[in-house]
Chains A and B, each alone.
Chain A
């Protein structure tokens, strides 16, 4: 059980407030359980979500919709059973009002049922499994990031347009990985010579790279989040494969966390994303500037999703004027999303997944010579996920 880190801005007031409050109409404070992967190869993603979320809390000076906010952060160590115990503690001991933060879909699916059964709203800042977009969709699940397939669909569309003939796909063997393969092939209808599944958390890709070399693909699409992606790209370049195969990845395998670790070898790599740090809207400029000031690094798309998740909670609590126990009103408030997202506008589909634009990015050098992403153009506008039809919610 990882050490829990309390971020309480009004510690004394809050403790008094939360312990004495009875179940009367509007409460005097609010608790959010942020459960994310803060150690292991996926740690970079979880840390960015946490920092983005905390930055938003700071911008809202510690209040969601006027209520003082207590954010409890727990590291799930990328292990389903650790997450399961943390969730049990959030629901029964801390009795949190909202939950957010989970990075990996396999953990999301493992802890989803107890959260939804206890009628606690989960605002996903990353994991968007196809199950919760389709037949298992639930009023208590909102996703401010994407449905897992979307980014892969965008890359599939681009690879199809560019006329690549022989593609190899690489992804970890977990729900997120399967969604990636399905998403890519939904829009890329060319020949896929091999779908390579690796172990989640695997770091040495010698065997897979040898296999890729023997297949001689003209393009390789990989979805390997965090440290896994970092090692794959480094070893891909070290094996000399980048000479004759063009590397493609969804946004989250080619964002700031990966660029910071790999650097130059990633120049010229195409990827897709729904957000980029060079988007020119007021919220995004303030978010990118303050994030760089506070944390000394460019925010990744995970940070933007953590930030938006906090803004969504704030907007919804303000709409219901603190009456958190009226679940129906809270659900409508969340669906209405009265807040401006850093990625520009998007709206929720009936299954509470976002309908938004997806852009093409390429990694190049910016004005100061730093290796970073540059937005090229739009691949999809107002793109919805492919599972909404199977969802019974209207």
Chain B
């Protein structure tokens, strides 16, 4: 039985860390420039497609991911300079709609370039088998994802808390006007942050591509989860994004796995099998509504 719980917990951790890659970029964009960017999911999709193309061209998974991250970072910077920069002063409705338009454009552009069918992106052969640690089997590729996710989390945490750039970013997140008043070129800072966020999205897209499918519209569902994460964690706070993503990752995975059997203990199996998955999929939204109800600014509000 412990194998099942340990395996499900690792699955939750893996999903949480991938969510963090998206949430980190999103919370900074949201926190510093107070901008809702629905097109963040499209950057994740672009990263997955570019990784698939680069991996096929160079038939090396690592080169593929590196190229995808670089290309998506440049794409993100260009997008920010040309369009998003005009949206900072606008109200949230305008931001929601402009980035909603970007989703329509991105999905169709991807269909135009790569066609409607999913594009193959396979994990490297070396990792296509399981790892056996003292009798405990776990897919090697998912361990790689956990490793990469954890590494990026630590790097990001150190970058944000112990470097000058990180200090500017946190200052920008808590009070943008004051940061500007201190002479920090917030425009440039923000383009860097946005490009960095785009690169993280590409990494998540490339890592999750083999597990899910690289297809048009793949960004939309994970985007909503990323928003739930940053709202729970507190908009603008990296620490909040990390805690939020792990919380959502584990609650969602364990909920889906344990809830149906948990409910069947005291409900009739028929009702439990029907109500279990429903409750599981709704769990994280209930969690978010509850947190917003008691702490309207999230767990670690950046804007003190």
CB-CB < 8 A to B137: which residues of A? Answer: 213, 239-240
Contact with B along A235-257 (1 / 0, CB 8 A): 10111100000000000000000
State A234–B140 Cα separation when bound (angstroms). Answer: 12
Q: Is the CB of B215 within 8 A of A40?
A: yes
Residues of A within 8 A of B216 (CB): 39
B141 in contact (CB, < 8 A): yes
Q: Counting chain B CB atoms within 10 Å of each CB, which of A206, A234, A261 scores highest?
A: A206
B191 within 8 A of A: no
Binds B, one of A22-30, A41-49, A64-72, A296-304: A41-49
Q: Which of A224-280 contact B (CB under 8 A)?
A: 227, 230-231, 234-235, 237-240, 261, 265
Q: Considering the chains assembled together, what is the distance between the CA atoms of A239 and B11 in angstroms?
A: 12
Chain A at the B interface: mostly helix, strand, loop or mixed?
A: helix
- Among B3, B117, B215, B257, the most chain A Cβ lie within 10 Å of the Cβ of B117
Interface string of A336-348 (1 = CB under 8 A from B): 0000000000000
Which of B117, B120, B129 contacts A238, CB < 8 Å? B129
Question: Taking CB as reference atom, which chain A residue is nearest B108?
Answer: A3
A-B contact pairs, 15 of them (CB 8 A): A38-B116, A39-B117, A47-B117, A203-B212, A204-B212, A206-B139, A207-B8, A207-B253, A210-B3, A234-B122, A235-B139, A238-B139, A238-B141, A239-B138, A261-B120
Most chain A CB inside 10 Å of its own CB: which residue of B14, B130, B253: B130
**Complex contacts, A227 vs chain B, CB 8 Å:** 118, 213, 215
Q: Shortest distance in angstroms between B120's beta carbon and chain A's nearest beta carbon?
A: 6
Whether, in the assembled complex, B57 has its beta carbon less than 8 Å from a beta carbon of chain A, the answer is: no
The answer on a CB contact under 8 Å between A214 and B1 is: yes
- Distance, CA A230 to CA B209, complexed state (A): 13
Bound Cα distance from A211 to B261, whole angstroms? 11
Contact between B130 and A239, CB atoms less than 8 A apart:
yes
Q: A231-B212, A238-B139 are in contact. Are A43 and B257 (CB under 8 A)?
A: no
What's the Cα separation between A203 and B212 when bound, in Å? 5
Q: Which residues of B contact A335 (CB under 8 A)?
A: none
Contacts of A203 in B (CB 8 A): 211-213
Q: Which residues of B contact A385 (CB under 8 A)?
A: none
Cβ contacts under 8 Å, B287 to chain A: none
Beyond A39-B116, A44-B117, A238-B128, whether A213 also contacts B140 by CB under 8 A is no
Closest to A208 in B: B257
Q: Is the CB of A207 within 8 A of B256?
A: yes
Residue of B nearest to A47 (CB): B117
With a cutoff of 8 Å between Cβ atoms, the chain A residues found around residue B7 in the complex are: 206, 210, 213
Residue of A nearest to B120 (CB): A261
Q: In the complex, A44→B119 CA distance in Å?
A: 11
B19 CB to closest chain A CB (Å) equals: 13
Within 8 A of A (CB), among B192-238: 210-213, 215-217
Is the C-beta of B111 less than 8 angstroms from some C-beta in chain A?
A: yes
Q: Report the contact-size class of chain A (Cβ under 8 Å from the partner).
A: 20 to 34
Residue of A nearest to B215 (CB): A40
Given A75-B116, A210-B7, A235-B139, the answer on whether A41 and B257 have CB atoms closer than 8 Å is no
B142 at the A/B interface (Cβ < 8 Å)? yes
Residue B152 at the A interface, CB < 8 A?
no
The contact string, 1 if C-beta is below 8 Å from chain B, for chain A 90-105, is 0000000000000000
* Cβ 8 A contact of A237, one of B3, B11, B129, B217: B129
A369 to B44, CA, bound (A): 38
- Asked if B93 lies at the interface with its beta carbon under 8 angstroms from chain A, I say no
Could you tell me the distance between the alpha carbons of A47 and B210 in the complex, rounded to whole angstroms?
22
- Take A211-B257, A238-B139 as given contacts and tell me if A231 and B1 are in contact as well, using a CB distance cutoff of 8 Å: no
List chain B residues, Cβ under 8 A from A238: 123, 127-130, 139-142
Decide: A231 and B211 in contact? CB cutoff 8 A.
yes
Spell out B's residues near A (CB within 8 Å).
1, 3-4, 7-8, 11, 14, 111, 116-118, 120, 122-123, 127-130, 132, 137-142, 210-213, 215-217, 253, 256-257
- Rounded to whole angstroms, the CA-CA distance of A333 and B37 in the bound complex is 58
What B residues does A40 contact at CB under 8 A?
118, 215, 217
The A33-64 residues at the B interface (CB cut-off 8 A) are 38-41, 43-44, 47
Closest to A228 in B: B213
Nearest Cβ on chain A to B255's Cβ, whole angstroms: 10
Known: A39-B111, A41-B118, A214-B1. A204 touches B8 (CB 8 A): no
- Cα-based distance from A210 to B6 in the complex (angstroms): 10
Residue in B closest to A238 when the chains form the complex, CB atoms: B139
Roughly how many angstroms separate A237 CA and B141 CA in the complex, as a whole number?
12
Q: How far is A187 from B140 in the complex, measured between Cα atoms in Å?
A: 37
> How far is the CB of A238 from the nearest CB of chain B, in Å?
4
Task: Evaluate whether A43 and B116 lie within 8 angstroms (CB atoms) in the complex, with A238-B123, A240-B130 already known.
Answer: yes
Which residues of A are found within 8 Å of B111, using beta-carbon distances?
A: 39
Instruction: Please name 6 further chain A to chain B contacts, defined as beta carbons within 8 Å, in addition to the given A227-B118, A265-B128, sorted by A numbering.
Output: A38-B117, A40-B118, A206-B7, A207-B253, A230-B213, A238-B142
* A contact residues around B217 at 8 Å (CB): 40
Task: Contact check, B132 vs A240: say whether CB atoms are below 8 A apart.
Answer: yes
- Residues of B within 8 Å of A213, CB to CB, are 3-4, 7, 137
Q: Are B211 and A204 in contact (CB under 8 A)?
A: yes
CA A261 to CA B211, docked complex, whole Å:
13
Interface residues of A in 201-219 (CB under 8 A from B): 203-204, 206-207, 210-211, 213-214
In the complex, how many angstroms separate the beta carbon of B17 from the nearest chain A beta carbon? 13
User: Could you tell me if B213 and A231 are in contact, using CB atoms closer than 8 angstroms?
Assistant: yes
Q: Which residues of chain A have C-beta atoms less than 8 A from B120's C-beta?
A: 261
Report A-chain residues with C-beta under 8 Å of the C-beta of B141: 238
Residues of B within 8 A of A235 (CB): 139, 211
| Chain B residues positioned under 8 Å from A41 (CB to CB) | 118, 213, 215
Distance in angstroms between the alpha carbons of A265 and B122 in the assembled complex: 13
> Given contacts A206-B142, A210-B4, A240-B132, are A39 and B215 in contact (CB under 8 A)?
yes
